[in-house]
Structure 1
Amino acid sequence: MSTELLVDFKQFWSRLSADIRSAQESVFVQTFAFEGDAVGQQLSAALLSSPAPDKRILADSFTRVVLSDRFRYSPANLFDRELRREARATAEMFREIKRAGVEIKFTNAYGGTPRRLLSRNHKKLIVIDNTTAYFGGINFSEHNAAWHDMMLRTADADAVAFLREDFLSTWIGRDQIARGEFDGLELFTLDGRTNRAVFQRVLDLIDAARQTIFVESPYITFPFYERLREAARRGVDVKVVTPEQNNWSYFAKYARVESARSQIDLRLYQGGMSHLKAMLIDDEFLIVGSSNFDYLSYRLYQEVVGVITAPRVIAQFRERVMLPDLARSIVGNCDASAVDKSLLSFQTRLLDAALTILT
């Protein structure tokens, strides 16, 4: 199987920048966040120096209103000089690459309905020529590049063609749901409207687990926690790794409360933010991609999800991600009051009902 794990930005960028430099036909980049800081400028410079004639960037409209994890238009940030400087640098970067012939489009423009506010294109996808593709969780901004994360690189010709087709479909404004089966790799693209049917594959794998489930994600929520809870109750060893220093503190508390009402073994990743998302079931199925295993991915986001069965890649994941990350983690304190547990149940039911009605 011609798929490899690239752990953290440095390793990812070393591989990607070489591929961009050697591209002869096309470089297609899709990202959730693309900011005019050192990392964004690094990507821009690589694209400008690439000999490929067809260079395109897709970025979600999120990156036009949120920079460095801060909403540009909140009262507290409106007059923040550093944030305004970064916004100007980002706008100038966009203008510069456009002038140089790099096409750029923004997906999922914000609108006045709940769906248009919440639905984001969360994919991180790169396709180079017709030979190489990347997918996973890394964005192009300094703070994202500093986080622990992972991308996957594949040179499987059919898998590359599948991901290229998805990029081109998004480029013309058509979100698609699709499935492709390749050598040791099953790929899904999610359209943000019929995601639940695709995620049933993931939930079925959790339900069928016999011995172990390892999950790493910063933002995991229901309905995935519910299935993990049931797996733990039937004797499966379920371990969840999530960062103690979460950039969205609500999710760290969510993980503690959820684990307190189940038999899930919660581990808190130490030493910074982990944005990595992966699920390994019985050492046989490795689920990867852009999904955080959260409710918004389940219902509203466009995503790329892969299910890997290749033993070599799974062994790499265990050696380079799972075991080191468990070693960097501490056992979570999962004490939670009955009120906290009941409140979490109420919040999840309310959110599910509200989004079902509104979207």
Structure 2
Amino acid sequence: MKRLEEVASTAKESFYAQAMTFEGDAAGKWLIEVMKSSPARKKKLLIDSYSKLVINDHFIPSLKYLQDRDFRNEVKETNKLIKEAQKNRIEVKFTNPIGFLALKYPLRNHKKMVTIDGKTSFLGGINFSDHNFAWHDMMVEVSDKKLGKTLIDDFEMTWKNRNQSKTIHTDQGQLYLFNGSKSEALYEDFFDHIRQARKNVQVISPYISEPLLGVLRSQADKEIEITIISPQENNKSIFKNIILSEQEKGYFNLKEYPGMSHMKAILIDDEKLIFGSSNYDLVSYYFEQEVVFVTEDKELIKDFKQKVLVDVGEFIAESVSAFGKRKADFLMGMLNMVGGFMSRTFLRPH
């Protein structure tokens, strides 16, 4: 937070911020204050329409909204904060409309990024809400003009309701912009980073499923050591059931972070770090827009190992009940079926 405040205070041309979740709590109010205080000429905030439907992990059209005064106040504060931002020269736009009867609910823009003047950018998994700020997560600052220019271009394209599927090479690494199932070929290129591992792959993500699990299984056959770090208290229990069920196949070591971890990162051979907004799961693969960066920067990898990997604790062995395993297998099958149907019917790649 302090670092973003410092960079924002020196901005001249632009301050662009994008997230899936934005709420009118302390975190959201902090961001708007930082944007208001910044001398940047253009200030824009992109929020996914998810935040029109869900606040603090609860659906707005629900009994909770009718019964819980505090929850209603949260919703009102969010709407009030957006209006305040707009009154203070901050343009605000919502991406990916939910659609009639929320039929487009899965099609989210999941990107989380901030770029200042196209010179300094922050990429990772953090949304602007108190409960996200409370989770274990990461934003990485990258000073790379080509990266910054690409992020600004992508931000402006998203602003115009045009989602991209592309990759570019920069001074610091390789940037991937995914667009759900329209990025099928691009994901194959991305997964080649994992397939080229020689010694080990370490994955941190709360929501792991196919297709990433299939790629990891293929590496295990090559005797690559695989470690998955997943939260002990997952806010989406289906993914915890999936990973515990998959653990029984014995091709990876499971470490559980105490509490909720929302971080998304992959470290390959201690030489290549992948980070960004994607969980590399079925939802990202079929439905969502994502931003991911791949780098071999030695100092960044050293910091990541010292500040993140040492923080996950010791391996905690857990067994999954037969019921939990059957439930996970069933839900995984349903996710695959729905994702494939949506891809073929509505999201045909181009």
Name the TM-score, length of structure 1 as normaliser: 0.90
- 1:27 and 2:12 correspond: no
Which stretch shows the higher mean deviation, 33-42 or 49-58? 49-58
Cα distance in structure 2, aligned partners of 1:294 and 1:123: 15
Q: What secondary structure, in the 3-state scheme, does the structure 2 residue paired with 1:76 have?
A: helix
Offset, 1:195: 2.3
Of 309, 331, 338, which residue of structure 1 is paired with 2:296?
309
Of 157, 160, 164, which residue of structure 2 is paired with 1:172?
160
Query: Which residue of structure 2 aligns with residue 161 of structure 1?
Result: 149
Cα distance in structure 1, aligned partners of 2:205 and 2:69: 33
Offset, 1:341: 4.5
- 1:332 and 2:342 correspond: no
Query: Which residue of structure 2 aligns with residue 80 of structure 1?
Result: 68
Which stretch shows the higher mean deviation, 304-313 or 189-198? 189-198
Seen in structure 2, the aligned counterparts of structure 1 residues 106 and 70 have a Cα distance that, compared at 3 Å, is same
Offset, 1:96: 0.8
Of 269, 277, 280, which residue of structure 2 is paired with 1:282?
269
- Kept in 1, the 8 Å contact 2:113–2:121? The answer is yes
Cα distance in structure 2, aligned partners of 1:28 and 1:307: 22
Which string of whole-angstrom CA distances, capped at 9 and with x for unpartnered residues, describes residues 85-117 of structure 1? 011111110111111111100000011488722
Offset, 1:79: 2.3
Cα distance in structure 1, aligned partners of 2:219 and 2:324: 22
Q: What secondary structure, in the 3-state scheme, does the structure 2 residue paired with 1:240 have?
A: strand
Which stretch shows the higher mean deviation, 116-125 or 227-236? 227-236
Offset, 1:228: 1.4
- 1:130 and 2:115 correspond: no
- 1:300 and 2:284 correspond: no
Seen in structure 2, the aligned counterparts of structure 1 residues 254 and 307 have a Cα distance that, compared at 3 Å, is same
Q: What secondary structure, in the 3-state scheme, does the structure 1 residue paired with 2:67 have?
A: coil
Which consecutive segments of 4 or more residues in structure 1 shift more than 3 A?
A: 112-115, 334-337, 339-347
Offset, 1:179: 1.1
- Kept in 1, the 8 Å contact 2:273–2:296? The answer is yes
Of 303, 306, 321, which residue of structure 2 is paired with 1:319?
306
Which stretch shows the higher mean deviation, 161-170 or 183-192? 183-192
Of 174, 177, 186, which residue of structure 2 is paired with 1:198?
186
Cα distance in structure 1, aligned partners of 2:31 and 2:133: 12
Of 70, 73, 81, which residue of structure 1 is paired with 2:58?
70
Cα distance in structure 2, aligned partners of 1:80 and 1:152: 37
Amino acid at match of 1:334: S
Amino acid at match of 2:191: L
Query: Which residue of structure 2 aligns with residue 351 of structure 1?
Result: 335
Which string of whole-angstrom CA distances, capped at 9 and with x for unpartnered residues, describes residues 59-82 of structure 1? 000111111111111223432111
Cα distance in structure 2, aligned partners of 1:300 and 1:314: 30
- Kept in 2, the 8 Å contact 1:20–1:47? The answer is yes
- Kept in 1, the 8 Å contact 2:282–2:339? The answer is no
Seen in structure 2, the aligned counterparts of structure 1 residues 70 and 78 have a Cα distance that, compared at 3 Å, is same
Over the aligned positions, Cα root-mean-square deviation in angstroms equals: 1.8
- 1:110 and 2:95 correspond: no
Which stretch shows the higher mean deviation, 214-223 or 75-84? 75-84
Cα distance in structure 2, aligned partners of 1:79 and 1:268: 35
- Kept in 2, the 8 Å contact 1:260–1:336? The answer is no
Query: Which residue of structure 2 aligns with residue 216 of structure 1?
Result: 204
Cα distance in structure 2, aligned partners of 1:147 and 1:71: 20
Cα distance in structure 1, aligned partners of 2:22 and 2:319: 36
Query: Which residue of structure 1 aligns with residue 87 of structure 2?
Result: 99
Query: Which residue of structure 1 aligns with residue 41 of structure 2?
Result: 53
Aligned length: 343
Cα distance in structure 1, aligned partners of 2:272 and 2:78: 39
Query: Which residue of structure 1 aligns with residue 245 of structure 2?
Result: 257
Cα distance in structure 2, aligned partners of 1:324 and 1:354: 36
Offset, 1:283: 1.5
Offset, 1:58: 0.3
Query: Which residue of structure 2 aligns with residue 146 of structure 1?
Result: 134
Amino acid at match of 1:264: F
Offset, 1:335: 4.3
Which string of whole-angstrom CA distances, capped at 9 and with x for unpartnered residues, describes residues 27-73 of structure 1? 11111111000110011111111111211100000111111111111
Q: What secondary structure, in the 3-state scheme, does the structure 1 residue paired with 2:266 have?
A: strand
Cα distance in structure 2, aligned partners of 1:162 and 1:131: 11
Q: What secondary structure, in the 3-state scheme, does the structure 1 residue paired with 2:308 have?
A: helix
Cα distance in structure 2, aligned partners of 1:181 and 1:245: 37
Amino acid at match of 2:251: Q
Amino acid at match of 1:356: G
Of 220, 233, 238, which residue of structure 2 is paired with 1:232?
220
